[in-house]
Amino acid sequence: MSLCLHSYAESRFVFSIHNFSPVLANANSAAGVEDTENKEINYENIPRFKRSRVFCVLLLISFLVNIPFFLKWAKKQKGSDEVLLYNVEGNFTYLTVLLWIERIEEFNGKILHKERSEIEKFHNVAKKGNKSIRIFKRKIHDILFIKAFGEKMVRTAFKRMALYSKITYLMDIAVYLSIINSAICLLSINYGWIASIIIGLFVGNIVAAPVWLICHLIFNHLLKSSARKQIKEGDGIGLRIIMAQFYGGFAGLLWKDLYYIQGRSSWTFGGGSSKGGFLKNVPTSSYSSAYTREEEKEELDFDND
């Protein structure tokens, strides 16, 4: 009887071990999955994302708050002879345009044969029609303005900026880059850094592009309006220079200059933008922007020289 009981107990123990083995296997398997899931989440990058998000928001607010202070400062700038690189001196005539070209040629150290030929054609057309060359003012400005910075346009424009202009210019760019950086940090929580950077550059633009564009347009529009108002009142040399410097700082791209005609002339790619360097493959607007003489007169009435 005792032998039977012992055999029965042993068989129950063996049965229990066999039944428990799958449980152990499942437990180990579940633990392995949990470990794998834990490894996929980079918890150390969560604080990094939170910091980048806070920095992004603070930078965005700081840039917008800075705009009225920058405008107040810009209106007080008296300007210098640098303005002669960006516009004619005195009334807009064929002679003053030629003098403008000579100043740009002196700066660049080379003759602008193509530009001289183009402007001479405008002069001949105006002369045949018994009109002033002012009817081609916007087109001539498109041709020569871009040449006032030389081949290294962005670098030259940045060097010409005052310290406050440089800070505001860098803040403008930093708004866009901070949003991209925040997107990369967010993705780095679940992905490796290489994948996060590659994906973040694309996905981040979905948020960065419109947000930055709105902030950038607000700044551009307010500065342009202030400059036009002062020029119309007979001053605004300092603001004209600042507007030109920011135009050069953005390589003639995504910046509405003083002679931009709302809804008609090119904006995304400035007229006659440089064909050299990193912009050699960037399409540019033609000199014959699609606007009528009446629209031009109405839009550019701030500058009646």
> Which of 149, 144, 139 lies closest to 98 in space, CA to CA?
144
Tell me how far apart the alpha carbons of residues 137 and 296 are, in angstroms, rounded to a whole number.
10
Instruction: Note the pLDDT of residue 303.
Output: 65
Tell me how far apart the alpha carbons of residues 97 and 145 are, in angstroms, rounded to a whole number.
12
- Spell 167-184 as b/e; 16+ CB within 10 A means b: ebbebbebbbebbbbbbb
Evaluate whether residue 295 is within a structural domain: no
Instruction: Note the pLDDT of residue 86.
Output: 93
Evaluate whether residue 36 is within a structural domain: no
Evaluate whether residue 300 is within a structural domain: no
Instruction: Note the pLDDT of residue 301.
Output: 58
Average pLDDT over residues 93-98: 93
Average pLDDT over residues 224-233: 91
Evaluate whether residue 24 is within a structural domain: no
Tell me how far apart the alpha carbons of residues 40 and 86 are, in angstroms, rounded to a whole number.
56
The yes-or-no verdict on residue 283 having pLDDT over 90 is no
* Residue 214 tokens, joined: 């709105």
Which burial class, exposed, middle or buried, applies to 88 when counting CB atoms under 10 A from its CB (0-12, 13-18, 19+)? buried
The yes-or-no verdict on residue 187 having pLDDT over 60 is yes
Q: Are 254 and 242 in contact (CB under 8 A)?
A: no
The yes-or-no verdict on residue 54 having pLDDT over 80 is yes
**Cα Rg of the chain, angstroms:** 32
Tell me how far apart the alpha carbons of residues 228 and 75 are, in angstroms, rounded to a whole number.
11
Cβ atoms within 10 A of the Cβ of 84, count? 16
Q: What's the domain count of the chain?
A: 1
pLDDT band at residue 19 using 50, 70 and 90 as cut-offs: very low
> Which of 250, 80, 260 lies closest to 169 in space, CA to CA?
250
Average pLDDT over residues 197-210: 89
> Which of 302, 285, 27 lies closest to 145 in space, CA to CA?
285
* Residue 78 tokens, joined: 């008296």
Choice among 60-64, 91-95, 169-173, 220-224 with the minimum mean pLDDT: 91-95
Evaluate whether residue 186 is within a structural domain: yes
Instruction: Note the pLDDT of residue 297.
Output: 53
Tell me how far apart the alpha carbons of residues 29 and 293 are, in angstroms, rounded to a whole number.
78
Choice among 17-31, 89-103, 142-156, 248-262 with the minimum mean pLDDT: 17-31
Pairwise pLDDT comparison (239 vs 31), residue with the higher score: 239
Instruction: Note the pLDDT of residue 261.
Output: 61
Tell me how far apart the alpha carbons of residues 242 and 223 are, in angstroms, rounded to a whole number.
9
Instruction: Note the pLDDT of residue 304.
Output: 65
Contacts of 238 (CB under 8 A, 6+ apart): 74, 75, 76, 77, 78, 79
H or E stretch including 256? none
Range of the domain at 181: 44-78+161-273
Tell me how far apart the alpha carbons of residues 268 and 116 are, in angstroms, rounded to a whole number.
26
Instruction: Note the pLDDT of residue 35.
Output: 45
Instruction: Note the pLDDT of residue 40.
Output: 78
pLDDT band at residue 236 using 50, 70 and 90 as cut-offs: confident
Tell me how far apart the alpha carbons of residues 191 and 113 are, in angstroms, rounded to a whole number.
55
Q: Are 238 and 86 in contact (CB under 8 A)?
A: no
Average pLDDT over residues 230-256: 91
Pairwise pLDDT comparison (48 vs 166), residue with the higher score: 166
Evaluate whether residue 191 is within a structural domain: yes
The yes-or-no verdict on residue 260 having pLDDT over 50 is yes
Evaluate whether residue 180 is within a structural domain: yes
Average pLDDT over residues 155-166: 96
Instruction: Note the pLDDT of residue 288.
Output: 40
Tell me how far apart the alpha carbons of residues 292 and 235 are, in angstroms, rounded to a whole number.
28
* pLDDT (tens digit per residue) in 131-145: 989 889 888 998 999
* pLDDT (tens digit per residue) in 104-118: 999 989 999 999 999
Average pLDDT, the chain: 79
Looking up tokens 């708050």, which residue turns up? 65
